[in-house]
Amino acid sequence: MAKEKKLVESITSREEDFAQWYTDVVREAKLCDYSGVKGCLNYLPNGYAIWENIQADLDRRFKETGVQNVYLPVLIPESLLQREKDHIEGFAPEVAWVTHGGLEPLQERFCIRPTSETLFCDHWSKTVQSHRDLPKVWNQWCSVLRWEKTTRPFLRSREFLWQEGHTIHATYEEAEERTITMLNVYKDFVQDDLAIPLVTGRKTESEKFAGAQDTYTIEALMHDGKALQSGTSHFFGNTFADAFDIKYADKNNELHSVYETSWGLSTRIIGAIIMVHGDDSGLVLPPRIAPIQTRVIPVAQHKEGVLDKATELMNSLKAAGYRVGIDDSDKGPGWKFSEQEMLGIPTRIEIGPKDIENNQVVVVRRDTREKIIVSMDEIETKLGDILETIQKDMFDRAKAFLDSHISSATTIEEMNEKFNTNRGFIKAMWCGEEACEEEIKAATGGATSRCIPEEQECLSDKCVFCGKPAKHMVYWGKAY
């Protein structure tokens, strides 16, 4: 393969300045741009199309597990938001309020939903009566608003698009099982469709969602070695049911509180796609999620027959079920190649006079820039193979990167040193005390507990910081 060469000057090198690289890729791939309101993005066609594909794939996976979609309002009365103590304490600092209706001040102000647990609970408290009404396994696709102080496209915006699933169940076990089921749906989706390998597990007390009994998370590792929480699944036990008085009568006509879960994945995941797969030439999209899987690029298209042949090729690929586009603009070929690479389109098909003469096309992989000469007669099947190979290779590369950036430490000094030399996740034992988490964060310049994985290893019997008996092995990392 040809030596990595920087072809595009409008994108800052990833090594030189990762943050600037990220911003450049977002801009050059035309995913979104800044609106006039801080933290609120204009999602452009290229960015929104990715979200639409994420929605389609996830929604299908949800429905396979019995999820039904609903839609609840964007406004939440203040009294409702305050019903559960931890929840309001967690969200109060970052909600926006609607105080006027037209010209008149409102009697009670409404917040713009930061999340909708309270709305779902309010509805269920009025409608659920019998065990026959359970379970409810609902989800909504919507946007929410959180008044963030620091914002970045996709990673942290004030308004963001997401899905939020909310469920209630008759038993503790059933709700707990749903929490894990959804964690696994996220895990499978992100790994299989987005080609992003993950570390998964339970959050510590301090990292839990406001009001949750347990929070489970999928954590991905970005190319700069920072972690990104990419989806969460929460188990609430009876907390919300009690606060909202959601009770049902069982078969013996005895009243019980329901058990509740919620789970969400947002447009933040687009940031993960960019930062896991992108390179110095721009975005690299996994074929399964890419809005366009291949772009036909006619070379010397002014010459007799080239454009016709290219269009014919596009149409036959479309008919074969591929998502395919063509760049028949009057730009030069070099410009078109760069454009296709910045947009992250997984393959391009170059077709020029020489190819037509030889009854062939040149398929170029976005991820490796490898050129593959394919006979025109075989392109419909070969393209599928190439796309599948790209999908697999992208995951394998990201997995190799992840694996090589997971290390372990038994002392705080060792932990610090590893964060400095090989950024990523560090496995270390922990006593379970919140105070120790704080100390570790301070001592490492910002590393937080990312999760307690289900598969525990015993690296030591002592906490990495205080030396007291260890309770858990924890993945630590510096997070976005």
Partner RNA sequence: CGGAGUGUGGCUCAGCUUGGUAGAGCGCGUCGUUCGGGACGACGAGGUCGCAAGUUCAAAUCUUGUCACUCCGACCA
**Site residues (vs RNA, CB under 7 A):** 7-10, 19, 23, 28, 34, 36-39, 93-94, 146, 148-152, 155-158, 160, 207, 209, 229, 232, 266-268, 281, 299-302, 330-335, 337-339, 341-342, 350-355, 362, 364, 369, 446, 480
Nearer residue to RNA within complex by CB, 281 or 408 = 281
Contacts of residue 467, Cβ cutoff 8 Å, sequence gap at least 6 = none
In the complex, least distance from residue 250 CB atom to RNA, rounded to whole angstroms:
34
**What is the rounded CA–CA span in Å between residue 467 and residue 315?**
66
Nearer residue to RNA within complex by CB, 198 or 429 = 198
In the complex, least distance from residue 386 CB atom to RNA, rounded to whole angstroms:
15
With beta carbons less than 8 A apart as the criterion, state whether 77 and 107 touch: no
Give the up-direction half-sphere exposure of residue 408: CA atoms within 13 A in the CB hemisphere: 13
Nearer residue to RNA within complex by CB, 128 or 274 = 274
Extract the tokens encoding 173: 């076990």
In the complex, least distance from residue 132 CB atom to RNA, rounded to whole angstroms:
35
**What is the rounded CA–CA span in Å between residue 64 and residue 53?**
17
**What is the rounded CA–CA span in Å between residue 365 and residue 72?**
43
In the complex, least distance from residue 336 CB atom to RNA, rounded to whole angstroms:
8
Tell me the C-alpha to C-alpha distance, in Å, between residue 87 and each of 74, 83, 93, 137, 211.
17, 8, 11, 21, 5
Nearer residue to RNA within complex by CB, 197 or 271 = 271
Expressed in angstroms, the distance from the first to the final Cα of the chain is: 33
Question: Among candidates 331, 204, 336, 212, which has minimal Cα distance to 263?
Answer: 212
With beta carbons less than 8 A apart as the criterion, state whether 447 and 423 touch: no
Give the up-direction half-sphere exposure of residue 467: CA atoms within 13 A in the CB hemisphere: 1
Query: Which H or E run includes 354?
Result: helix 353-358
In the complex, least distance from residue 131 CB atom to RNA, rounded to whole angstroms:
33
Please, what's the b/e burial string for 112-124 (b: 16 or more CB within 10 A of its CB; e: otherwise)? bbbbbbbbbbbbb
In the complex, least distance from residue 100 CB atom to RNA, rounded to whole angstroms:
16
Nearer residue to RNA within complex by CB, 226 or 468 = 226
Nearer residue to RNA within complex by CB, 8 or 96 = 8
In the complex, least distance from residue 275 CB atom to RNA, rounded to whole angstroms:
13
Nearer residue to RNA within complex by CB, 286 or 352 = 352
In the complex, least distance from residue 115 CB atom to RNA, rounded to whole angstroms:
9
Nearer residue to RNA within complex by CB, 258 or 437 = 437
